[in-house]
Amino acid sequence: MKFFLNIKENIRKCDFESVAVTMVLFITILIGVSYLVFAPKQDFSEDENRVLESAPKITLSSLADGSFMDSIESYVGDHFMLRKNFIALNTRIQLMMGKRDLGSNYSRVPAEGGVYFGSNDHLYEVLLPNRTDVFVRNVSAIQLFAKRTSLPFYFMPVPSGAQEQQDRLPFSAPSHDQHEEFNTIKAGAGQNTKVIDLFDTLSDRTGNDCYYKTDHHWNTFGAYKGYEALIKAMNMKATPQSDFDFKEVSNSFLGTLYSKAILTTQAPDELYLPVYKEQAVLTQQTGKQQRTGLFWKEYLEKKDKYSVFLGGNHSVDVVKNSAVNNSKKLLIIKDSYANSMVPFLATNFQEIHIIDLRYYNQDIYEYIQQNGITDTAAIYSIKQLCDVSVANKLSAR
């Protein structure tokens, strides 16, 4: 009799445990579904720097071809509760498992490298060998551009932080040597071209670090070193660093590399603006908009804090300095690395015309003639020259 009573007691206990587990699961699912349905949704993830999946709409065609279920899966993946915490947890688990390259996509053609977690809280781009003809076509077009203009031309290929700070990469981490691209650029330079070597300059860490920890750009101090090298190549006198106040305007900058490998314990960057001490009125013309000063401080309240320099990338910007009357007009074709160098260059040129070929669709040779350009320069990160094609924008129309 006692034996049967024990069986009944165990059955009641099992029933209670089953009901408890079922209720917990039901409540968890109910909370998750309620969150997906009723909680406010973001259209854009600043941490990941990408547009999030919007709520899918049911149609007969989307149900028939299965795209509705794919959209539902993407939507849930982009909006589930505590998503950032789970992403950071996943990053930490991968690091604990010994993975060093996070955020990569080697199934793409060409493959896309991820991010290394280096020492001193540094994140670094994984540099891969150049396996397309994008770099060769870009460089050939830029060198032909220099030949066609017949103006003094200064080519500044900027190496990545992973190239210049290899001692901070994980032990035995593979990293492509960007000297290969630099040597190709130098070998094809024309008579009116000076190619500026920054490899030793940016690897020097006796003073300030030259690169952000969480972003792929050089920082303000690295941009100044680039400026010094460029002005020296132009046989001009660089404005001393002591003529600028380097003002810290943010200590919470989390850049593009952080967006590829989110970790909540990652130390953010400090961002400095170089404020020129001398009296000068600097203006920036962007389309029909003219601003006084070169710093768009509204970006300091956003994720993309690097865009405080010139407001990011535009097809054409014209910077003028009222205190300079040397009739020198510099045209720069560039990527975003040049943006943080312009405040320094503005102390040497009466006008700086800045063209980002990714967004520019006019005849650049006609622009040079119409604006009386006296000097030309190309300021590009080596990685950008390998990844994004701008060659067709330099063809004569």
Query: What confidence score (pLDDT) does residue 42 get?
Result: 57
307, 238 in Cβ contact below 8 A? no
| Tokens coding 252 | 């919470």
Q: How many CB atoms sit inside 10 A of residue 285's CB?
A: 15
d(CA 125, CA 106): 14
d(CA 224, CA 238): 10
| Tokens coding 260 | 């590829």
Classified as helix, coil or strand, 368 is helix
**Going by C-beta distance under 8 Å and a sequence separation of 6 or more, which residues neighbour residue 12?**
none
Residue that the structure tokens 């132009």 belong to: 234
132, 141 in Cβ contact below 8 A? no
Query: What confidence score (pLDDT) does residue 306 get?
Result: 97
79, 225 in Cβ contact below 8 A? no
Query: What confidence score (pLDDT) does residue 297 get?
Result: 97
DSSP states of 275-313: EE-S---EEEEETTEEEESSB-GGGGGSS-GGGGBTTS-
* Dihedral (Cα; 58, 63, 66, 70), 10-degree rounding: 20
Classified as helix, coil or strand, 360 is coil
DSSP states of 8-47: HHHHHHHHHHHHHHHHHHHHHHHHHHHHHHHS---SEETT
What are the pLDDT tens digits along the chain (397 aa)? 554 445 555 555 556 566 666 766 666 566 545 544 545 555 554 554 545 555 566 666 555 665 555 555 555 444 445 455 545 555 556 655 556 777 777 777 777 788 999 999 999 999 999 888 999 999 999 999 999 999 999 999 999 999 999 999 998 888 999 999 999 999 999 999 999 999 989 987 777 899 999 999 999 999 999 999 999 999 999 999 999 999 999 999 999 999 888 888 899 999 999 999 987 889 999 988 999 999 999 999 999 999 999 999 999 999 999 999 999 999 999 999 999 999 999 999 999 999 999 999 999 999 999 999 999 999 999 999 999 999 999 976 5
Q: How many CB atoms sit inside 10 A of residue 340's CB?
A: 27
Characterise 141 by phi-psi region: left (phi > 0), alpha (psi -120 to 50), beta (else): alpha
3-state secondary structure 173-224: CCCCCCHHHHHHHHHCCCCCEEECCCHHHHHCCCCCCCECCCCCCECHHHHH
Using alpha carbons only, give the angle 114, 119, 125 rounded to the nearest 5 degrees: 20
